[in-house]
Each structure stands twice: as C-alpha cells, then as structure tokens.
Amino acid sequence: MMLACAGLEVGFPGRLLARDLALEIRPGECWGILGMNGSGKTTVLHTLGGLRAPEGGGVKLGGRPIGGFAPRELARELGFLLQDEPGAFWGSLQEYVLLGRHPHAHSLFGWGADDLERAERALGAVDLAGLSQRSLGTLSGGERQRARIALLLAQAPNVYLLDEPLQHLDLRHQLEAMEIFRGLALAGCAVAMVLHDTLWASRYCDHVLLLPGDGVALAGPTPELLTRGNLERLFRCELQEYGQGAQRHFLPGAPSRV
C-alpha cells in the first residue's frame, strides 16, 4: 500500500518547515528522513501518519485520504514508532508486545494462537525471546526500544513510520534493526524512518527526504541526493566523504558559521 502526499505544507505559526512537498512511499521502498534538530523531521512524519493536520495539501494511503480511516482500520495498515512511549506499562514484555495485535483482534476474551505466535516471533526477531515474562519496567533503555520495535512487528502493518528507531540501541542492535527494516521493505512493505547517521541511510535506504528546515525539502533516490554538498547544506558543517556506493559515509570537520 502506497503512502503519498501532494502539495503538502508542514509547519507552525510563523514557520514553514516543508513547502509543496510531494512524496510517494511505495511498497518495497525504504526511505530515510534526515535533517538537523528542529528541522521538522518528526513533524513531517506525524503529518504523513495522520497524527497532525497539515497546513496545506493532503496525505493519502492506498489512494484514500488518511483522515478517512477509522482508527482500528488505519492501525491495520499503518504502524507508527514514536520517539517517546506514551504512558507507563506495568505488565510483562509478552503482554506489551501483544498490544500490537489489538487492531487484528477477533475476540474480547483473550488472544488466539496466531496472536501469541506473532508476538513470540517478533520478540525473537529483536533478540528478546528469553525475556518475554520479564516486567517491561525492568528492562534497559535499549531493551525497551527493541520491545517497541517488536510490538510494531506484531502489529504487522503494510506501512511503517519510524521516528528515530535506533535511539538507545548499541551498535550490534542498530545493525540488526536496520536489517529488520530492510527486510520489511523487501517483503513488500513501505518503510520511512528518521535517522541521524548518514551511513545507515546510505547502506539501507533506497530513497531519502532531506529537510533543511527552511521550507525547501529534497526527496529522491539515495545515490542522487546523499552527496557531500547536499549534506553540508543540510547539517551546516564541513564534511569529509569516505567510501563508495552503499558504503559511503561522511564525518564532520569544522562547524560552519554560515
């Protein structure tokens, strides 16, 4: 299912973060969203996911205006990983991940075998299978972040919007998470995620959205847009480029005062 926008304007009173934005995030594609702090990455993602009304233009999911979906119907099609967990959860890790199955529930009287199997598979995918009966509150920050990814995997939508999915993760689990996200795209899902490391975007994202925060956004294939010149304008610092192709990465030099 494709997530698309046309003529999208995103911002706050007195500040326009993205102007006339046109995107088509298609099944099988993995998008990286890059920009400085405060450039509008989260705001744009929230708008694409229907969590925030745009200043102009509109968003469609599968050709339908996203505002026309009932909440449970939307949750079967689109999954959102927020930066911050809304509220506390006092149950076990397994019970937490099963929350992702609510949009698919057929009964009010418990979970079916398929729900339990999907939750266990999701926990295994993020290296948490042995902790399923632990209280969520006893887990480390990185483990809780992986639990949040597992919940989304159990939800099994067709479109994944991920706001800083690698936060709190150590290097190994960052790699494993990116492999999961690329696997979802290869399986036919549409994936878009906010990232801070250009190496992950270069290696795993076939498209990028660059948000300088001045209203002018750049969107397109990663090899075309992820260049030293574009990234120096995006992050406002000098960069050194290393490697080629999907292994390209950029390290900062002296900060620019421009």
Domain ranges of the chain: 3-255
Q: What is the pLDDT of residues 43-55, one digit of tens each?
A: 999 999 999 999 9
Only one residue has tokens 């120096």, namely 232
User: How far apart are the C-alpha atoms of 250 and 232, rounded to whole Å?
Assistant: 10
User: How far apart are the C-alpha atoms of 212 and 233, rounded to whole Å?
Assistant: 7
User: How far apart are the C-alpha atoms of 253 and 126, rounded to whole Å?
Assistant: 35
Total-model pTM:
0.94
What value does the CA radius of gyration of the chain take, rounded to a whole number of Å? 19
Q: What is the pLDDT of residues 205-231, one digit of tens each?
A: 999 999 998 899 999 999 999 999 999
51 burial type by CB count under 10 A (0-12 exposed, 13-18 middle, 19+ buried): middle
Q: What is the pLDDT of residues 104-148, one digit of tens each?
A: 988 766 789 999 999 999 999 999 999 999 999 899 999 999 999
Answer whether 189's CB lies under 8 Å from 159's CB.
yes
Domain 3-255, CATH 3.40.50.300 — does that match?
yes
